[in-house]
């Protein structure tokens, strides 16, 4: 469910979006994965809210600021909450890497 939600939110962003790994040839792309899933709210011993903690990674050989901003805007509009973000550089591949960590609350009652 959460993978579809992420893919739907990032649809039309203009760069490839892939779950966990990317095997294409584009120099700018996005990967994502869920690093934690846990119950957030309970009623009468039943889980009412499931929390999905997602990491979205933007990869680029150059400036990725516009893609990072577009990705955040689309994800927040889809109901995600930004938790943190930071920049990395992968010296072995000479690729810039921007990490965005987000939270998504899924209501278990009625859907």
CATH number at residue 86: 3.30.2000.30
What distance in Å separates the CA atoms of residue 41 and residue 86, rounded to the nearest whole number? 29
pTM over 0.85: yes
Give the three-state DSSP class for 25.
Answer: coil
User: pLDDT under 50 in the chain at which residues?
Assistant: none
- What is the reported pLDDT for 110? 60
- What is the reported pLDDT for 102? 98
Contact 102, 67 (CB under 8 A): no
Q: What share of the chain in percent tops pLDDT 90?
A: 86
Number of domain units in the chain: 1
Q: Which domain holds residue 82?
A: 2-107
């Amino acid at each position: 469910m959460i993978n579809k939600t992420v893919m739907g939110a990032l649809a039309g962003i203009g760069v490839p979006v892939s779950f966990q790994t990317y095997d294409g040839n584009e120099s700018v792309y996005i990967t994502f994965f869920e690093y934690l899933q846990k119950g957030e709210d309970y009623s009468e011993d039943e889980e009412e809210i499931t929390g999905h903690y997602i990491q979205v990674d933007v990869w680029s050989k150059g400036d990725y600021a516009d893609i990072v901003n577009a990705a955040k805007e689309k994800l927040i509009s889809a109901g995600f909450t930004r938790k943190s973000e930071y920049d990395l550089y992968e010296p072995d591949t000479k690729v810039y890497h921007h990490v965005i960590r987000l939270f998504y609350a899924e209501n278990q009652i009625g859907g």
